[in-house]
Chains A and B, each alone.
Chain A
Amino acid sequence: MHQVEVATTQETLLDNPEMILNMGPQHPSTHGVLRIILRLDGETVIDLDCDIGYLHRGMEKIAEHRLYPMIAPYWDRLDYIAAVSNGLVWVETVEQMLGLEVPPRAHYIRTILTELNRIASHLLWLATHGLDIGSFTVLLWALREREEILKIFEQQFGARLTCHAWRIGGMPSDTYADFEKDVQRFVDNFPARLAEYETLLSENRIWLGRTVGIGVISAADAIAIGLSGPALRGSGVAWDIRKSRPYAAYADMDFDVPVGENGDTYDRYLVRLEEMRQSRRIVQQALTNLPDGPVNAKLPKIIKPPVGDYYHSIEGPKGEIGCYLVSDGTSRPHRVRVRPPCLINLQALRQMCIGHLVADVVAIIGTLDIVLGEIDR
């Protein structure tokens, strides 16, 4: 990453118009332990550099020493906001290596729960993004909705945040008794609530002033950097893995991909809001067509995928989360590599921020929707 040059000669603040501001890792709005070194002229950002790794847990290395099913809980803790989606990458990759046929009911339930997780993740993004720009009420309103999803997760998986949702070949158990009722209630209530959140922000003059034209990234740049997810779609690129390489039951679902135009913070805001509505549509469809049957495929006693390289990716809430897996034919993977959407999206930060003010840096970090657990792994 680009290095900010820190002046070695000790000048006083008044001699030099430039100032180095160390933002983080304990800053309230760097969404975790991100450290950003800003070079400022007054409050204008001249240059910045990100210092990451404060949350490094060596997950890729750990994975080389674990059996295939044992790796899954580590994946849940990559992007802890979207544990359900993360878990899905790992189990689907291994399933594809083994050539397992997962029963359709499991696919549908996976679709429902990952979409609910997408909504939960986007709600948390809305909450923190709103908070970064100074709207505190959005935070608590959005968390109230997220709570409903977390209740469903808690009943289904026994955990609210780090849900160990899936097993290779299907699900640990079928859904709980009132699952469909709970999900249906959420689906019914959600649009009205989302419209309520929009009244606080979408037409607010201050919100528009803070987001329109901030952190612009063009479609070509977005592709060059490798952005994915809402950050890419906000720039006008209709790229959604749920459409282009459907996994789980997405091939059966009818949904739209929202696409922005200007690639600014406001477009990404609109895209994410629309994605929540589309997610709700998907959940509704999957719930209506939920097939009966088993939720588990028959598995060998010891999982030993054949020798080879595999790559599988899904559309996580933050972007394309992928898994590159090298198998040497033993019960432990030879190498695991995560394609972390947040890390790659964070690369755009410098380009987006330069020339803007300190206040915009915070807004842009919010709009990139990063989770440090996944960046540092």
Chain B
Amino acid sequence: MTMDIFALFAPPNLIDSFLLKFFAPETMNYVVWPFIQIGAVATVLAGWAAYASYLERKISAFMQARLGPMRVGPWGLLQPIADAIKLMTKEDLTPDDADPFIFKYAPYISVVAAFIVFAVIPFAPDWGVITDINIGLLFVLSVSSVGVLALILAGWSSNSKYALLGGLRSSAQMVSYEVSMGLSLVGALMFARTLSLSGIVQAQGLDSIWYFFYQPLGFVIFFISGIAENNRAPFDLPEAESELVAGFHTEYSGMRWSLFFMAEYAAMIVVSAVAVTLYLGGWYFPGTWRLMASYPVLYVFVSLFIFVSKTAILLYLYFWFRWTFPRYRYDQLMDLGWKWMIPASLVNIVWTALAIFVVQALNGWGGLRTIQSLTHGVNLTWAGKIIMVAFGFGGLFVTAAVLSMLNWRSRDFNLKKHRRQVRLVNSPKGQTAVASITKAVTSDG
């Protein structure tokens, strides 16, 4: 028996042989393995979400000339565990006037919507893909947007004005950023020609390029919309601490509050993971394919490590933005969404379609060969790749031009031009000056 326990740390085929002692093969394939995968992913991600909060506190501390958590464990490493114990043992208050049923169950919607997305995220090849459904990306978009429901319900059922305003803000914000987020993905899909997430990763592997180079604009729009969709700073209006106290979760305490908190971090990981899958080549990294044939198990673990590292880098960007930028105002946020993000993602679609058309048209023109195959996603030759990457980065300028044309009238179009100097008034040393109104302004002006 003790030897069998070690099987847990062994590659899956050993676990297979261990499990086959207890279950029929069918039961094992369709019931036991999925449960093991779900359990592993849920546990690891809950831990990751908890430690993301630790990392955020540490990183923000280093940015702010302080140390962050240091007391619990070495370098405060046990802080998330201490926090979890504290939150679980805290009193769970429900306000008198709240709608108790909705109030109590809203956090569950939030956390379930955030965690369920991981079902389709391809963490690594082979057994790293838990479920490979052919509409994976649609699943991600639709399920993650259920999360907004939790925020609205929480804000509404709390029967608090701050929570209500937070819920209102979050609904408007998430709905408007959902659009640009969905549209920005279309560009990448034009190359991958599949909605299956592992299919998209494999398409990037076959083409041996990350779609970030074809779709730099799509990546930027997706990531910004993702931050906005997750209500993270500088778009953290639904919980804007300085304005709305704590926004939609003002009335929550204890474990229910921490479910929202965990959902927020899990949603961040989701957006980062989807961005990695779509734009940063998923588990691929130059050179790792050499391991595939000779060390298949090691290859999966290395791929997993690569995927997690890429996701962690994007998570770091989240933290970096949060602790650097001030917060947008509500109307500015809407402006950014509807007047910048959505037009930009539309331009991106048109531009990408044009790029693919041009590359296809150039194929065979003057002996130039741009396309290798179109069966599993767009598969380009070196010449085709160079043209496509040039189109991708050129698209940034095109989009900037289009957006400038659209927005040059708006009030905060070119705020950077605003003067950054004040006038200095001096009087000779020791001589008294009298007050002078230097600019005549009428009181109704």
Interface residues of A (CB under 8 A from B): 13, 19, 21-22, 27-29, 43, 130-137, 139-141, 144, 200-210, 212-213, 218-221, 223-224, 235-240, 243-246, 251-261, 263, 266-267, 270-271, 274, 357-362
Q: Which residues of chain B are near A131, meaning CB under 8 Å?
A: 242
- Kindly state whether residue B425 has any CB partner on chain A within 8 Å: yes
Asked if residues B424 and A28 are in contact (CB atoms below 8 Å), the reply is: no
Asked if residues B429 and A220 are in contact (CB atoms below 8 Å), the reply is: no
- State how many angstroms separate the Cβ of A37 from the closest Cβ of chain B: 12
Q: Which residues of chain B are near A140, meaning CB under 8 Å?
A: 64-66
Instruction: Give 15 pairs: A residue, B residue, CB < 8 Å, sorted on A.
Output: A19-B161, A135-B326, A136-B323, A204-B325, A208-B415, A210-B328, A237-B437, A238-B425, A238-B433, A243-B432, A252-B430, A254-B429, A256-B424, A259-B438, A260-B422
Asked if residues A257 and B330 are in contact (CB atoms below 8 Å), the reply is: no
Asked if residues A201 and B326 are in contact (CB atoms below 8 Å), the reply is: yes
Indicate whether A220 sits within 8 Å of B433 (C-beta atoms), given known contacts A28-B245, A135-B325. Answer: no
Bound CA–CA A218/B437 (angstroms): 11
Asked if residues A257 and B425 are in contact (CB atoms below 8 Å), the reply is: yes
Asked if residues A219 and B415 are in contact (CB atoms below 8 Å), the reply is: no
Contact of A258 among B162, B234, B424 (CB under 8 A): B424
Bound CA–CA A135/B322 (angstroms): 8
- Kindly state whether residue B327 has any CB partner on chain A within 8 Å: yes
Bound CA–CA A256/B332 (angstroms): 36
Bound CA–CA A240/B423 (angstroms): 14
Indicate whether A259 sits within 8 Å of B64 (C-beta atoms), given known contacts A13-B164, A205-B416, A209-B329. Answer: no
B307-362 at interface with A (beta carbon < 8 Å): 323-332
Indicate whether A133 sits within 8 Å of B242 (C-beta atoms), given known contacts A144-B65, A270-B421. Answer: yes
**Which of A212, A224, A238, A244: most chain B Cβ within 10 A?**
A238
B22-66 at interface with A (beta carbon < 8 Å): 60, 63-66
Name 9 extra pairs, CB < 8 A, besides A134-B234, A210-B329.
Answer: A13-B164, A43-B165, A135-B327, A208-B416, A220-B440, A236-B439, A244-B434, A252-B429, A270-B421
Indicate whether A259 sits within 8 Å of B329 (C-beta atoms), given known contacts A19-B161, A220-B443, A239-B435. Answer: no
Residue of B nearest to A144 (CB): B65
Bound CA–CA A137/B60 (angstroms): 8
Indicate whether A244 sits within 8 Å of B416 (C-beta atoms), given known contacts A261-B439, A362-B243. Answer: no
Asked if residues A141 and B65 are in contact (CB atoms below 8 Å), the reply is: yes
Contact of A132 among B242, B429, B443 (CB under 8 A): B242
**Which of B162, B432, B441: most chain A Cβ within 10 A?**
B441
Asked if residues B64 and A270 are in contact (CB atoms below 8 Å), the reply is: no
Residue of B nearest to A201 (CB): B326
Contact of A134 among B326, B437, B441, B442 (CB under 8 A): B326
Bound CA–CA A271/B420 (angstroms): 10
